[in-house]
A and B are shown apart, each in its own frame.
Chain A
C-alpha cells in the first residue's frame, strides 16, 4: 500500500545532528499526525495538523519541530536529540474532524514509519 509514505525508513544520527523526517499522503486527507512508538510502550501522539494548521502539540520537546506546508506533506525536523528519542516515528492521515460527523474520529491511516536511532 502506498497511501501514506515516509522517508527515510531508517535514520541514525548523532546528538548534534539536524535531520528531517518526511511524510506524504496520497489519500486526499486534510488531517495529518506524528506519533512516537518506543519499545514496550503505546503509541504516543505528538502533533496534529488540520488543513495545514497545527491543532495539537502533546507537550513535545522543542527539539522536535513539525512543519506542514500543505495538506499532503508533513515534516518533522529534528535537532539536538537525546538517545531516549530513539524510537519508531509514525505519520498518519485522516479526513479532518467535523466531516466524520457525530463527534466521531475518522480512521487514521499510518505510514510505514521511520526507525530513528540517536547515538
Chain B
C-alpha cells in the first residue's frame, strides 16, 4: 500500500463546478497534513494546511478524518486558473523529523 494515495485523475470540470479530491494515508501516527498545488513544470506551493476541525480558505475547504486516515479538498466555483496538480502531503509519523510524504497528485483541468 502506498503511504499516501490519491486518484491521479485527470478531473475535467467546467468553470463554476465544484470538485472534490480525496487522499488516504497509511501511517496512523502522522500529525501534519497539507495540500500543495503544483503547476506544470513548476515547483509545489502550499495551498493550505489541514486541521482536525476542518478549515476553509475562500473557495477551498479541507477536511481531515483521522479515524479513516482520509483527507479531502473541496474546490467551489472552479476557475480556469485552478487547473493544476494537487498534492496531498503527510508528515511521516509522530516524531518531528521534517519528513513529508507526497502523494502522486491529482490533476485538475478546468474548461471554459
A residues adjacent to B (C-beta < 8 A): 31, 33, 40-43, 45, 48, 50, 55-56, 58, 90, 94, 96-98, 100, 102-105, 107-113
Contact = CB atoms under 8 A, between A and B. Distances in A.
Interface stretch (B12-20, B38-46, B57-65, B74-82): B38-46
Main secondary structure of the interface of B (DSSP, over half): loop
Contacts of A102: 31
A100 B95 CA distance: 12
Interface of B: 4, 31-32, 34, 42-46, 49, 87, 91, 94-105
A45 B31 contact: no
Nearest to B88: A42
Contacts, number: 68
B46 A97 contact: no
B91 A104 contact: yes
Contact of B98 (A41, A94, A109, A111): A94
Given A33-B98, A45-B100, A105 B91 contact: yes
B42 A112 contact: yes
Given A42-B103, A104-B32, A104-B91, A55 B98 contact: yes
Main secondary structure of the interface of A (DSSP, over half): loop
A102 B31 CA distance: 9
B97 A108 contact: no
A42 B32 CA distance: 18
In order of increasing CB-CB distance, the 4 nearest A-B pairs are: A110-B43, A97-B96, A105-B91, A43-B102
Contacts of A112: 42-43
B100 A108 contact: yes
B98 A105 contact: yes
Contact of B96 (A90, A100, A111): A100
Contacts of A103: 31-32, 94-96
Given A31-B98, A97-B96, A112-B42, A41 B31 contact: no
Contacts of B42: 112
A94 B34 CA distance: 14
